[in-house]
Amino acid sequence: MDTLLLGQGYEPLGRVGWQRAMTLWFTGRAEILEEYDDRVIRTVRVAFPMPAVVRFFRSTRARRAAVRFSREQVYARDHGRCQYCSSEVTRRESTYDHIVPRSRGGATRWDNIVLACRPCNQRKADRTPSEAHMALLSRPVQPAPHADGWRMVLGLVGEAPAPWRPYLGLE
Ligand SMILES: [Zn+2]
């Protein structure tokens, strides 16, 4: 079971193994904010609850990770919705549209790729949105590490242990 690691300002930084979280706490670098109710760490002498969320006491510049470009992360950024018709698209049905088509020199990167359902992707074909008279729901950008990007940094799309959820803005 992993522990959610927060920065001094409560921003999610990532997930670490509970052993690492205990080390941070034991060495006085982090505080434990939440524990797992149903998990106990036993040593020879003591037993204590497993940490679920820990927070660094001091700011940590180095740990901010940029969100790497991948299909999964584009899917998460676009909230599983076709960016043309806004219908929900499952992972299996998902296609990725080059806004400026590759045949016209469009790059494969955050600001030129959106999640699209198959019908929209086929309809748009090798055209730009304006040529195809199809409007984008929003202008695609690279997610910021501490805004929309945290779910992707953490490898969490829709799942997080209960004690993490308030810190991830899920409740
Ligand atoms: Zn669509």
pTM, full prediction: 0.53
For the segment 16-70, what is each residue's pLDDT rounded down to a tens digit? 889 999 999 989 999 999 999 889 888 888 888 999 999 998 876 555 556 778 8
Q: How far does residue 95's CA lie from ligand 1's centre (Å)?
A: 10
Question: 113-168, pLDDT tens digit by residue?
Answer: 999 999 999 999 999 999 999 999 989 988 766 544 455 555 554 567 889 888 87
Q: Rounded to 5 degrees, what are φ and ψ at 77?
A: -55, -40
Q: Quote the CA–CA distance of 151 and 8 in Å, as a whole number.
A: 18
| pLDDT of 169 over the 80 cut | no
CA distance 98 to 64: 28
Neighbours of 31 (CB within 10 A): 14
**Paired residues of 14 in beta bridges:** 5
**Centre of ligand 1 from the C-alpha of residue 99, in Å:** 13
Q: Which fold has domain 71-132?
A: DNA Binding (I), subunit A (1.10.30)
pLDDT at 148: 47
Question: Does 109 score more than 60 pLDDT?
Answer: yes
Token pair recorded at residue 2: 């992993």
pLDDT (0 to 100) of residue 102: 94
- Predicted confidence at residue 46, as pLDDT, reads 84
Distance from the CA of 120 to the center of ligand 1, in angstroms?
4
Centre of ligand 1 from the C-alpha of residue 148, in Å: 22
Report how far ligand 1's centroid is from the alpha carbon of 101 (Å).
17
In the predicted model, what is the mean pLDDT of residues 73-83?
Answer: 89
What pLDDT score was predicted for residue 167? 83
- 3 vs 154: CA distance, rounded Å: 11
Q: Which residue has the tokens 């049905």?
A: 93
Listed by start position, the domains of the chain span 2-65+153-168, 71-132
For residue 78, how far is its CA from the centre of ligand 1 (angstroms)? 12
Per-residue pLDDT, 77: 85
User: Is the CB of residue 109 less than 8 Å from the CB of residue 141?
Assistant: no
Ligand 1 centroid – CA 93 distance (Å): 11
Ligand 1 center to 86 CA (angstroms) = 6
Q: Tell me the C-alpha distance between 14 and 58, whole Å.
A: 16
What's the CA-to-centroid distance between 144 and ligand 1, angstroms?
25
